[in-house]
């Protein structure tokens, strides 16, 4: 199993519910094979700061095990050790808690969620870039850096660039 580039993204919504158009767009991107939602946590905080937390994943139990194996291919225990610890029988929930969205990240996002609103933190696999990543790796290359620039920052970024040139 090969894995495309992974990215963790957090979103804040001013309302408690996940907007339907966001859910539809995520569904569309998943259906098109553009992304795979490895893990997603949706957090609702009511006006009294009571929390509701929901988790979803596109991975079934076997896919989660395969995903972990692929992610850790260079760091897996030896085959003798695997037999001793029974890695094939590991509880997928325990694996997800250790290797997918860490609870500490969820706690950090919670700190930004005001009462009466919601947030989503998602670990997505960029399926569209899977072959490109494999090609770069075969050419002994690796990612040097990446930056996600939200649309709300583009105007500021462009203005700053133009101002620095004048």
Q: Which domains does the chain have, with CATH numbers?
A: 6-57+100-130 (3.30.1490)
d(CA 94, CA 132) in angstroms, rounded, equals 31
In this prediction, residue 160 carries a pLDDT of: 59
Between residues 105 and 93, the one the model is more confident about: 105
What is the spatial distance between Cα 26 and Cα 56, in angstroms, rounded to a whole number?
Answer: 12
The DSSP output letter for 15 is S
Q: In the prediction, which pLDDT does 64 show?
A: 77
| Count of all residues that appear for the chain in the document | 166
Other beta carbons within 10 Å of 22: 13
Q: Is the pLDDT of residue 19 over 80?
A: yes
- The burial class, CB within 10 Å (0-12 / 13-18 / 19+), for 126 is middle
Residues 149-161, mean pLDDT to the nearest whole number = 65
What is the per-residue pLDDT for 29? Answer: 92
For residue 23, the model assigns a pLDDT of 85
Helix 92-99 to helix 61-71 angle (10° resolution) is 40
Name which residue leads in pLDDT, 12 or 58: 12
Query: What is the structure's pLDDT at 53?
Result: 84
pLDDT of 27 over the 60 cut = yes
DSSP state of 78: P
Model confidence band, residue 116 (pLDDT cutoffs 50, 70, 90)? very high
């Amino acid at each position: 199993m090969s894995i495309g580039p992974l990215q963790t993204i957090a979103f804040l919504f001013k309302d408690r519910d996940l907007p339907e158009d966001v859910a539809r767009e995520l569904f569309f991107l998943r259906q098109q094979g553009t992304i795979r939602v490895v893990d997603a946590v949706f957090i609702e905080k009511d006006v009294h700061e009571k929390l509701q937390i929901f988790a979803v994943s596109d991975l079934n139990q076997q896919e989660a095990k395969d995903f972990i194996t692929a992610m850790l291919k260079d760091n897996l225990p030896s085959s003798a050790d695997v037999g001793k610890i029974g890695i094939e029988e590991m509880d997928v929930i325990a694996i997800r808690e250790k290797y997918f969205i860490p609870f500490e990240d969820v706690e950090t996002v919670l700190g930004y969620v005001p009462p009466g609103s919601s947030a989503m933190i998602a670990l997505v696999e960029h399926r569209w870039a899977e072959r490109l990543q494999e090609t770069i790796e075969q050419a002994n290359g690796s990612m040097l850096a990446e930056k996600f620039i939200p649309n709300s920052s583009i105007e500021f970024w462009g203005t700053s660039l133009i101002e620095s040139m004048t």
